[in-house]
Amino acid sequence: MSYDDEISIRNAKILYPNFEGRKTDKNPPGQRNFCLVLEQGLADRLAKEGWNIRQTKIHEEGDIPDLYTQIRVNFDPERRPPTVVLIDAVGRKIKLDASSCHILDTAEIKKVDVVINPHHWNMNGNSGIKGYLKSIYVTLRPEDFGGEYSDVPSFPANGV
C-alpha cells in the first residue's frame, strides 16, 4: 500500500463525529471530520507511511485502547465533494450534502462502510499524510417501532 491508494473499510467504527464542523476545544469552526478506528496491522502500516495515528484514552484497567486517525470531510466547491449516504431503518438510501450531513453527528449507527483518499502534505518543513473522505455509507440502527410506522407521513409539530 502506498499513500496514493484509497483505503476501503467495511463495518468501520467511527469516533468523535463532527460532520457539522462545529467549533470545539480541539476543532476550529467549519472543519468537518471524524475519527476512523483502525485495526492494529493497518494502523502500523499507515504510521510507517506518515499518517498521524492516535489511541483512545484508557478509562478502566484492562481496557484496550482503539487506534484511530482523523479523517477530514471537505465539501469545498472547488473539489469533488464526498459521497455521504444514510440508509435509514427501513432501508431507504438518503444522499446527504454539506447542509444535511450534520445529522450523522447524533445518529444511532448500526454500520459504516467508508472509503478514504490519502493526501500527502508539506508545511513548514513537516510532512505527512491526511485522510479525506471519499465516500461513506451509514446504516442507522432500527428503532423499536420505526419499521411499523415507516409508511405514515410525517408533519411538523405545529401542523403547518
Report the candidate in 27, 20, 18, 154 with the shortest Cα–Cα distance to residue 100: 20
Beta-carbon contacts of residue 143 (< 8 Å; ≥ 6 apart): 89, 108
Mean pLDDT, rounded, of the chain: 89
142 band by pLDDT with thresholds 50, 70 and 90 = confident
Q: Which domains does the chain have, with CATH numbers?
A: 7-140 (2.40.50)
Q: Taking the CA atoms of the chain, what radius of gyration do you get in angstroms?
A: 18
Q: Is residue 149 a contact partner of residue 44, using CB atoms and an 8 Å limit?
A: no
CA distance 85 to 146: 19
Global pTM value? 0.85
69: cell is 486517525
The pLDDT > 90 percentage for the chain reads: 68
- Residues 11-69: tens digit of each pLDDT: 999 999 999 999 999 899 999 999 999 999 999 999 999 999 999 998 888 888 999 99
CA 90, CA 143: separation in Å to the nearest integer?
Answer: 10
Q: Which three cell numbers stand for residue 105?
A: 453527528
